[in-house]
Structure 1
Amino acid sequence: MSEFAYVVRAPEYPPQMKHRVIFQTFDKLEPGQAMLLVNDHDPVPLFYQFQHEREGQFTWEYLERGPEVFQVKIGKAKV
């Protein structure tokens, strides 16, 4: 069984869809579950958006930090 409930490979989506898909996927997670975000650049702006829109609801852990591939484990915090 995978450590991740979902995997989102951001480069596969058009720019205007990326954050929407990531947040929709995050919202499907149950508390304690995690998703894997794979990206071609450091998703720092997304981290700040999560802080603003889902404050206290998520965890963020870099698993790989470039330079070509960035992988982030985004978890839904347990209530």
Structure 2
Amino acid sequence: MSHDCSMPKGPDGIYPFDARGVAKRFRHAAIFGALDALFPGEIMRFCNDHDPLPLLAQIEQRYQGRVKVAYVAREPGQVVIDFLLSAA
């Protein structure tokens, strides 16, 4: 996989969010803050070291289907997910 989540917004307009650099106790709050900052149509590319299934359930509950989830990579030790914010 060639995406580098440490880079700022790429030329493709995708905002990276590398959860591996955020202390575990702050991760979900930081992720929700980042998702709340997106405008409809924008994408946040989320990188993590594990598949965040509880987080995905919380996102579904909180955003009621307005955040679309698309896996870019789903490998042990490296999970990359695109979160797309759709219009209300």
TM-score (norm 1): 0.92
Gapped regions of structure 1 (runs ≥ 5): none
* RMSD (CA atoms): 1.0
The residue type equivalent to 2:37 in the other structure is K
Point out 4+ residue stretches in structure 1 off by more than 3 angstroms: none
Cross-structure match for 1:72: 81
**Percent of matched pairs sharing the same residue:** 28
Distance (whole Å) between structure 2 residues aligned to residue 67 and residue 75 of structure 1: 23
For 1:18-41, what per-residue CA distance to the aligned partner results, in whole angstroms no more than 9, with x for missing partners? 011111011111101110000000
TM-superposed deviation, 1:56: 2.1
**Residue-by-residue CA offset, 1:39-79 (whole Å, 9 max, x unaligned):** 00001111100011111211000000011100000010123
Structure 2 stretches lacking a partner, 5+ long: 1-10
- TM-score under structure 2 length normalisation: 0.83
Alignment: residue pair count:
78
